[in-house]
Amino acid sequence: LTLSTTVVAKDWEGPAYPTQSFFSQPLPIPGVKAPKYTFTNPQTGGPIDYYELEIKPFQRKQYPNLAKSARMVGYDGQFPGPTIDIEQGRESVVRYINNGDRPASTHLHGSYSRAPFDGYADDHIDVGQYKDYYYPNQQNARTLWYHDHVVDHTAENVYFGMAGLYLLHDQHERDLALPTGKYDIPLLIMARQYNSDGTLWDPEKNDEDTSIYGDVVEVNGQPWPNLKVEPRKYRFRLLDGGISRTFKLFLNADQKNNQRVPFYVIGSDCGLLAQSVVTDLVTISIAERWDVVIDFSQFAGQNVTLRNDHEEVNPDTEYLGTDRVMRFIVGTTVSDSSNNGAVPVQLRDVPFPPQDQSVNTRHFEFGRGGSNWVINGIGWHDTADRLLAAPQRGSIEIWELENGGGGWSHPIHVHLVDFQVISRTGSDRSVLPYESAAQQDVVWLGPGETVRVIARFSPWPGLYMFHCHNLIHEDHEMLAEFNVTQVADLDLNEQNLFIDP
Ligand code: C2O
Ligand code: CU
């Protein structure tokens, strides 16, 4: 890939994609992967589920009337990859077998996986090899996702299909009686570009035009799908699993004068919010997760369309179609009315780090440096300088993330930690209502903005990455590392990978 600083321009001779097919195909829901076997942790006696996921090519025809299929590469030959569904406290080992096209590295985004199981950019699995990753799964219930993270080529790998969901459940969440089972559905949103014959537009062969905003909005890999729902409450796990596009999502009641339907935001990157937040607009940038409940009970027999307020995204460069995401076709009968009560207001005691206990404030500027994207002037290939912070293990710090300008936005992700957004300045947005009730691991740094986040740097020592999650920016060096340093008097057994923090 070469660096492109422009979004896909209007003069791009894009595909005559069959937009008449809006909402014609059903939403695919990735199946849940079963462990290959379960073995016993010799140190704790607890179960460890062992999974294998094979990265391999596959063909997918997005609409029956297209001439050709698109060639993709994904986990187990599907996109999204199979969902891993696991209970808090149940450890797992996942073997990622690389039978794809190029080196890979898998990051479980949202997990405090200890190095070296974090999916480090340089720690690649070459073609024909595999690597086993260990996940403690001790965190609270949350929507995680696994995706490629290999140095310089994450954008292509994810674009071609290397992403899947990993859902962690816990008893506290179950006790809230939120919609579950078939009423709990992941929606991985990603925009891609296709050629008019149905093949995928290839960012690698189109070097000069490699910003992958995409003009075809897909959910779980299907462009503009529909989902038949019952007139009751559903939980949807929204994930922007794309390359460069931020969405501003709203729900349109098609038969009711385009009235907006509210979202009850109940969860974020790091699990349940402190309180549910009702809103009619959810901004979701790359790698962010927002779990929402939608109540279809007032819309029996009607359509509710999930739309993207693209006027606010980039009015000069948008195509017909990027303002639509998917359609809910609401039926008239409810087959199961359990877990359909009012959405609780109080959801969880979120362990927000106390601001008066912060021992350090660091400042990071995300901007341009020559022909690259850099953090404090440093890019990933400045290997001698890319270690930008060394917080002490267990300490609380405030990180001030400043957008270096140029009209760009940067979704910033810090590995290992859950953080809280405590301020946003420099634009007309302040901390969004659902952000102030949440912990996050990605925050969208809009044009001109400075965002302060607070985190406790635990549980593990070691080297972790932080970066822009616009994958084109990430591959073009907006990626650096921090070292969580050990504190001598912390009484934890360093050699034990399976410790409970
Ligand atoms: Cu979602 Cu560093 O990754
Ligand atoms: Cu960026």
Q: Which atom of ligand 1 is nearest to the CA of 109?
A: 1
- What separation in Å is there between the alpha carbon of 120 and the centre of ligand 1? 9
Asked whether residue 263 carries a pLDDT value surpassing 60, the answer given is yes
Asked whether residue 22 carries a pLDDT value surpassing 60, the answer given is yes
**Would you say the CB of residue 473 lies under 6 angstroms from ligand 1?**
no
For residue 297, report the phi and psi dihedrals to the nearest 5 degrees.
-65, -25
Residue 172: band (very low, low, confident or very high) from pLDDT cuts 50, 70, 90: very high
| pLDDT, average across residues 147-176 | 96
- The whole-angstrom distance between residue 241's C-alpha and the CA centroid of its chain comes to 5
Q: Which atom of ligand 1 is nearest to the CA of 467?
A: 2
Q: Which two tokens stand for residue 371?
A: 């022909």
Q: Which two tokens stand for residue 45?
A: 């006696």
**Close Cβ partners of 437 (under 8 Å, ≥ 6 residues apart):** 265, 273, 274, 275, 276, 277, 350
Name all domains of the chain by residue range, CATH numbers in brackets: 22-172 (2.60.40.420), 181-330 (2.60.40.420), 355-484 (2.60.40.420)
Q: Which two tokens stand for residue 66?
A: 């297209």
**Would you say the CB of residue 414 lies under 6 angstroms from ligand 1?**
no
Asked whether residue 103 carries a pLDDT value surpassing 80, the answer given is yes
Residue 342: band (very low, low, confident or very high) from pLDDT cuts 50, 70, 90: very high
- Which residue is closest in CA terms to ligand 1's atom 3? 109
**Would you say the CB of residue 393 lies under 6 angstroms from ligand 1?**
no
Q: Which tens digits make up the pLDDT trace of 42-55?
A: 998 999 999 999 99
Q: Which atom of ligand 1 is nearest to the CA of 107?
A: 3
In this prediction, residue 39 carries a pLDDT of: 96
Residue 184: band (very low, low, confident or very high) from pLDDT cuts 50, 70, 90: very high
- What separation in Å is there between the alpha carbon of 151 and the centre of ligand 1? 12
Calculate what percentage of the chain has a pLDDT beyond 90: 79
In this prediction, residue 202 carries a pLDDT of: 82
**Would you say the CB of residue 415 lies under 6 angstroms from ligand 1?**
yes
Residue 207: band (very low, low, confident or very high) from pLDDT cuts 50, 70, 90: low
67 vs 154, which has greater pLDDT?
154
In this prediction, residue 323 carries a pLDDT of: 86
**Would you say the CB of residue 109 lies under 6 angstroms from ligand 1?**
yes
In this prediction, residue 498 carries a pLDDT of: 39
For the beta sheet containing 271-279, the strands, ordered from the edge strand earlier in sequence to the opposite edge, are: 222-223, 216-219, 184-192, 233-240, 289-295, 263-268, 271-279
Distance, CA of 366 to CA of 243 (rounded, Å): 18
Q: Which tens digits make up the pLDDT trace of 457-495?
A: 999 999 999 999 999 999 999 999 999 998 765 544 444
Distance, CA of 219 to CA of 242 (rounded, Å): 10
- Which residue is closest in CA terms to ligand 1's atom 1? 109
In this prediction, residue 496 carries a pLDDT of: 39
Ligand nearest to the CA of 240: 1
**Would you say the CB of residue 289 lies under 6 angstroms from ligand 1?**
no
Q: Which tens digits make up the pLDDT trace of 211-252?
A: 688 888 999 999 999 999 999 999 999 999 999 999 999 999
Distance, CA of 214 to CA of 318 (rounded, Å): 9
- What separation in Å is there between the alpha carbon of 374 and the centre of ligand 2? 9
What average pLDDT does the chain have? 90
In this prediction, residue 211 carries a pLDDT of: 66
Asked whether residue 5 carries a pLDDT value surpassing 70, the answer given is no
In this prediction, residue 12 carries a pLDDT of: 39
Torsion of CA 121, 477, 165, 131, to 10 degrees: -10
Q: Is the ipTM of this complex over 0.90?
A: yes
For the beta sheet containing 387-389, the strands, ordered from the edge strand earlier in sequence to the opposite edge, are: 387-389, 479-484, 462-468, 410-414, 442-445
Asked whether residue 4 carries a pLDDT value surpassing 80, the answer given is no
Asked whether residue 444 carries a pLDDT value surpassing 70, the answer given is yes
Q: Which atom of ligand 1 is nearest to the CA of 287?
A: 1
Asked whether residue 165 carries a pLDDT value surpassing 70, the answer given is yes
**Would you say the CB of residue 343 lies under 6 angstroms from ligand 1?**
no
Residue 194: band (very low, low, confident or very high) from pLDDT cuts 50, 70, 90: confident
In this prediction, residue 254 carries a pLDDT of: 93
